Amino acid sequence: MDGLSRSDRGTRERRRGKTSRESVPEAERAPGVGARGEAERAVGERGLLSGHAGSTAGERGLLSGHAGSTALRVASLSVAYGNVTAVHDASFTVADGAACAITGPNGNGKSSILMGITGMVRRKGTVEVFGAAAPNGDVRWMARHGLTLVPERRQLYPDLSAWDNVILGCYTWTRSIATARNSAPFGRAIELFPELKPHLRQVAGTLSGGQQQMVAIARGLAANPKILAVDEPCLGLAEAVAQRVYEALAGIHADGTTLIIVEEAPKRALTLCSQRVEVRNGVTA
Amino acid sequence: MNRVAGLRGMGLGPTALVLVAGAAIVLIWGQEYAGSVFVLSACYAIVTAGMAVQIGFSQQIAFSQSVFMGAGAYGVALLNGNLGMSVLEATPLVMIGAGIAAFALGVVVTRASGLALAVATLMLPLIAVGYVTSASYLGGAVGQPLTGTLWPGDSQASVAVGGGLVVVAFLAIAVFVASRVLRSDIGLELFVLGVDERTAAAMGVRTPRRKLELFVLGCVFASLGGAAYAGTQQFVPETIVDPTAELALLIMLFIGGRRSIIGAVVGALVIQYLQGASSWVSVNILVVEGVVLTVVLLVDAEGLAGIATAAVAWLRGRLGGSGAGGPSTRSHSGSRGPLTRSIRGWRAIDRQATRGSGAIDAELSVPEGPATRGEAAVPRGSDASDPALDQRDGASAPLSPARGQALLEVRGIGKEYGGLTVLDDVSISLPSHGLFGLCGPNGAGKSTLLNVIGGSVRAERGQVLLNGTDIGRRPPHERFDLGISRTFQAVHLVKGRTVLDNVAVSCLASHHASIITRITRSRLADARAKAATALRDLGLADIQDREVSSLTLEAQRMVELARAMAPEPRLLLLDEPASGLSEEQRQRLAVTLSQLAARTCVLLVEHDLDLVAQVSERIFVLSQGRLVFDGDPEGFRASPVVTSLLVGL
Amino acid sequence: MKLGNLIIAGVVTGSIYATFAVCVAVWYRVSNILNLAVGDFAMVGALCVDSLYRVRGLPLWAAIITTLLIVSVFAWLYDIIVLRLAVDGRGRAEGIVLTFFFTFALSFFIDGVAKMAFGSDVHAAPALWNGASIAVADLHVARAGILVLACALLIGGLFWVYIRFTLGGKALEASGENALGARIVGIDTRRYRRWIFVGTAVIAAVFGIVESPITGYTYLSGATISLTGFLAAAYGGFRKPGRALLAGLFIGVLEALLGGYVSAEYGTTVMYAILAALVLAWPRGLGFESAVSG
């Protein structure tokens, strides 16, 4: 709980500084964050018991000031690998500013849904991001339209430094290293995990699992996403590190970024997410 | 997809095919142009058959064939020209000479592996061509003519046909030896060698020795091919040792199918006949070869043999209707033509042997689970005189040492890589049973410590004692024999083989035998029986006939665990067995590990601290090469050192 | 002054090897494919310019531009047809060995076509900078040699700056290290592969044009150049263009010194023996092991 309030404070400080990239006035948002901090704590406690924390969802939608607008709409999405259909006819929508958990046992197609949405694999069905229909199999389009994936097993560039890994997130919107270095998203990404600072020059392959996950999330954030899709962020991490990762995700969410989190164990995801998409045997429930 | 050769029967099928078809071609067309092309391609096929074993299956990429083919050819030419020996007399002498030379060269060269081996041997043709073109006694850039012929006949016809038949016989011998190598138990070792050398060594495979044997085998085959070439062509051009010649051989291998001996033979035929097809082709052979190789590889990475297999499978799917795909189709092999069958035979998994071990499985199915395995499960105990040297095969008494006595003692280990201290004065000691965790941030030296114990890395300082005997200077495979078994972070299973065969690798009891004994007396069945038992112990009996790449990551990790467990080690080293597994799967793994710990000593390297704390009775924590914590899970959870290092990051 | 001249000659040859090594290394970084056909593009460059200029009578500049166009179009077509099928297609060619064989087949193909088009005699593109070799005291440098050296430095420097200091360069590295991870941030790995492939082919062709007046090329020269460039790249650990450059220079100087002091006849043989011994004695230091695992 301590951690949560710390991250919220950090978020507020950052917003007061330079990184606010949305037009929502400071005055409107700042109190909201505090209130949301409370709400989150409430969800955190309730989430453990009930699983669905429906009541806070509306509250959050109002607070983020985008109630009603849809960030992501997925309709009859199917993904197949050869003859094996991993996802069958999945449909759901995620509201702007919401946090959505995609849960279900391993091997039931959760990751495949994300892969299909982002275009990493070919899909059937439609995917719309803020109302724009996404072309099939075009990851770059997705990245440019604000949906960034933090993939399962992180997929870093092991021989590049952590700093290089993070700045490559900026490749989605710029080709100039100078622009990237001085940009707000990059600054925000680098500041996201202060404990990563001493390791930024280190080659990513030699970082610990937790540090690598942090680099992956920071890279995702450097892409300046409106929607951040995180696939199994805590796989193989110790409990305390997983908590730290979730703190950071909560901070990103508090900044107004829509979150989609794929988790096998819904418990932790539902401390943060108000919406839950359950996947069983490739079918959404 | 079983695209890789299996181990069926005695290896007589392809040999008979080569012998009969080859002899028929020579007898019918021996005096014509087509026949002479066939004989020439048979000479090359002898070489490529050896390459299929060495390069295709074992992934030991050495560019030494053209040099030894040249050595064989020049050797025969010199013995024939200077000493007046007949070509047939000279051939065995030349092969022996080539074998000795290959051995001497191989001792140096096969120390390298992977790319280093390829680049080092790439120099051989470059060196050879420079030498040959300048050496006047070899005819220099002109080449060396022969007076004798392979078959000393009195007429043109008898020379051609007799010589052709001898070449076919040579080829049949080569194919027979190559197929025997692959089908005997040593074949399994070579497959693992092809996947990963370190894993092979950790499974008890004598990697340096096998690599040397493979190198010599490839070179001897090449010299036989060269002798046949010299004897039938009666001229040795200096281009025979050229790098281009080496590349041409590789093209034959890859067009035919690098993992099929028949394919390698067919590849040689295809290239030679293409050259003879028309004058346009022979002038522009480079273009043709380039296009053919590109097209064949685009269609199937396993070359013509792969295409043939796929075509057969497709045809059978069309004809067989319901029985498409999967193991069931393999049982129809009787209805196919001889060529098809022989190709299938190469590639199909040995159903018979599998069924055989299945029967054993059934007989032994009474004892179930670790508890009933009792005696066998107790780690090999101490033999008063020299306990650590008690070999796995020996009938040692199942006398387990007292719980307090250390099975493994690591004393003051220090290791540096390029000035960076990876391990600094690390000492741990493990008893004969139980599960012990080894944690630490990345780069703390966990894997290095495991490698030092397993033998793939040698420490600069300190000792590794197993039951009181210093094993610090022994190679990994010897440590395996002494009862140290391990897994690696990445999964290294042999794709295209069954679970059973993958596990059987570590159960082969004849690692120290030479390749020749191994070929003549294969002990594959024993190993498979033992593997089946181990699989049943871990509850994997139902997947033992599955091909490994069709398994989930969890199942693959379990198969690796089974492979490490099957030889009943005293000490099991596990490197991050849970990485990539989900929470549920981790829990299942935890249960399995606890069961294993009841009968052997397990040292577990793992990032998942919760898992480690859950299953271990004692935990070691390394940081920057130093042991910073050593205690029980409660102390581990409470320790501020651990928290700051691992949890707080 | 023999030593000085030998070293100069060695540096010139070495810079050729170095350039090809850099091309091999850079493309390997992007695509994880070892390219054995780089030298063949150099051969095509030289022979094609010679054919267009001397035989067909085109002006030199037109001959050069046409040649470079032919090379780049061919490389581009090869990428979108063969490499696309081989690397991105359904039956993905996996592993360094198999993809290597594709470029190997390409090398055969180019050599064969060159033989058809240009015959098998020794030819060279016309010298771009005419005149006797430049002498400083007793040291002699051929003008073409200076051009070669300048090109090598320029190309090496450009690649270095690109990889070190631009986001595009880092993206290039990223796409070789983790193609999936690269696609996530919007890096078009195929396009990088294609442009670097076409780019290295053009660089090789330019080199062939500049260098051929020194040695003269036949349709088979490409393979030899590739091989030495490949070796130099190998000694640079394949993934490190900077080290590949140094290794190329080293091999060139070593070759010249051995040819001058040991034996003109057996010089190269001895050199290859030394190179082999180096690999065997010091595989880890030369980066062979990391290249295999990485």
Size of interface B-C (CB pairs under 8 A): 125
pLDDT tens, A247-257?
A: 999 999 999 99
Q: Which residue has the higher pLDDT, C227 or A32?
A: C227
Domains and CATH numbers, chain C: 2-293 (1.10.3470)
pLDDT confidence of residue A38: 39
pLDDT confidence of residue A246: 92
Whether chain C has a CB inside 8 Å of the CB on A111: the answer is no
Whether chain C has a CB inside 8 Å of the CB on B284: the answer is yes
Counting DSSP H helices and E strands in chain B, the numbers are 27, 12
pLDDT tens, A167-179?
A: 999 998 998 999 9
Q: Which residue has the higher pLDDT, B225 or B475?
A: B225
Q: Which residue has the higher pLDDT, B59 or C293?
A: B59
Best residue in C43, C92, C104 for a mutation probing chain B (most B CBs within 10 Å): C104
Percent of chain B with pLDDT over 70: 83
For the cut 50, the answer to whether the pLDDT of residue A76 exceeds it is yes
Q: Which residue has the higher pLDDT, B396 or C177?
A: C177
Return the C-alpha torsion angle B505, B507, B513, B517, nearest 10: -80
Mean pLDDT of B556-568: 88
| Nearest residue in chain A measured CA to CA from C189 | A140
Per the CB < 8 Å rule, is B290 touching C107? yes
Return the C-alpha torsion angle C285, C287, C289, C294, nearest 10: 150
Whole-number Å distance between alpha carbons of A241 and B440: 14
pLDDT tens, C263-272?
A: 877 888 888 8
Domains and CATH numbers, chain B: 12-243 (no CATH), 387-647 (3.40.50.300)
Residue B647 with chain A: CB contacts under 8 Å: 238-241
pLDDT tens, A259-269?
A: 999 987 778 88
Q: Which residue has the higher pLDDT, B495 or C209?
A: C209
pLDDT tens, B568-593?
A: 899 999 988 887 777 777 888 898 88
Residue B584 with chain A: CB contacts under 8 Å: 105-106, 264
DSSP codes of every residue in A49-72: HHS--HHHHHHHHHHHT-TT-EEE
pLDDT confidence of residue C92: 56
pLDDT band at residue B10 under the 50/70/90 scheme: low
Whole-number Å distance between alpha carbons of B606 and B580: 12
Whether chain C has a CB inside 8 Å of the CB on A80: the answer is no
Percent of chain B with pLDDT over 90: 23
- Hey, is B99 helix, strand or coil? helix
| Nearest residue in chain C measured CA to CA from B253 | C101
For the cut 80, the answer to whether the pLDDT of residue B447 exceeds it is yes
Mean pLDDT of B238-255: 89
Nearest to B406 by CA among B468, B478, B451, B450: B468
pLDDT confidence of residue A68: 60
Percent of chain C with pLDDT over 90: 33
pLDDT tens, B317-335?
A: 888 654 433 333 333 333 3
pLDDT tens, C15-56?
A: 989 999 999 988 888 888 888 899 999 999 999 999 999 999
pLDDT confidence of residue B571: 93
pLDDT band at residue A163 under the 50/70/90 scheme: very high
**Of A46-50, A203-207, C252-256, where does the model show the most confidence?**
C252-256
pLDDT confidence of residue C93: 53
pLDDT band at residue B336 under the 50/70/90 scheme: very low
pLDDT tens, A64-73?
A: 444 468 899 9
* Alpha-carbon gap: C128 to the closest alpha carbon of chain B (Å): 31
Mean pLDDT of B624-632: 87
Q: Which residue has the higher pLDDT, A97 or A13?
A: A97
pLDDT confidence of residue B646: 66
Per the CB < 8 Å rule, is C291 touching B115? yes
Mean pLDDT of A130-157: 89
Whether chain C has a CB inside 8 Å of the CB on B299: the answer is yes
CB B581 within 8 A of CB B607: no
pLDDT tens, C137-185?
A: 777 888 888 888 898 889 888 888 898 889 999 999 898 888 888 988 8
Whole-number Å distance between alpha carbons of A42 and C241: 56
C-beta neighbour count of A193 within 10 angstroms: 23
pLDDT tens, A229-248?
A: 999 888 767 777 888 899 99
Nearest to A222 by CA among A272, A273, A156: A156
Whether chain C has a CB inside 8 Å of the CB on A155: the answer is yes
CB B117 within 8 A of CB B60: yes
Best residue in B549, B552, B582, B606 for a mutation probing chain A (most A CBs within 10 Å): B582
pLDDT confidence of residue B136: 83
pLDDT band at residue C286 under the 50/70/90 scheme: low
* pLDDT mean across residues, chain C: 86
For the cut 70, the answer to whether the pLDDT of residue A215 exceeds it is yes
| Nearest residue in chain A measured CA to CA from B441 | A208
Residue A236 with chain B: CB contacts under 8 Å: 578-580, 607-608
Mean pLDDT of A30-51: 35
Helix axes B303-320, B338-347, angle to 10 degrees: 110
pLDDT confidence of residue B283: 87
C-beta neighbour count of B389 within 10 angstroms: 15
Q: Which residue has the higher pLDDT, A64 or A112?
A: A112
Among C residues 40-99, those touching chain A with beta carbons less than 8 Å apart: none
Mean pLDDT of B338-344: 31
Whole-number Å distance between alpha carbons of B25 and B42: 11
pLDDT confidence of residue C94: 62
> To which residue do tokens 């795909």 refer?
B325
Supply B523's token pair.
């002990």
For the cut 50, the answer to whether the pLDDT of residue A62 exceeds it is no
CB B268 within 8 A of CB B41: yes
CB B495 within 8 A of CB B4: yes
Domains and CATH numbers, chain A: 2-146+225-284 (3.40.50.300)
* pLDDT mean across residues, chain B: 80
* pLDDT mean across residues, chain A: 76
pLDDT confidence of residue B518: 77
Whether chain B has a CB inside 8 Å of the CB on C74: the answer is no
ipTM for this prediction: 0.89
8-state DSSP, B401? P
Per the CB < 8 Å rule, is C167 touching A170? yes
pLDDT confidence of residue A216: 95
pLDDT confidence of residue B418: 66
Candidates B583, B584, B647; nearest CB to A240: B647
pLDDT band at residue B50 under the 50/70/90 scheme: very high
pLDDT band at residue A136 under the 50/70/90 scheme: confident
Parallel, antiparallel, or unpaired for β A227-231 and A147-150? Answer: parallel
Mean pLDDT of B594-620: 88
Whole-number Å distance between alpha carbons of B595 and B198: 27
Per the CB < 8 Å rule, is C98 touching B130? no
| Nearest residue in chain B measured CA to CA from A205 | B442
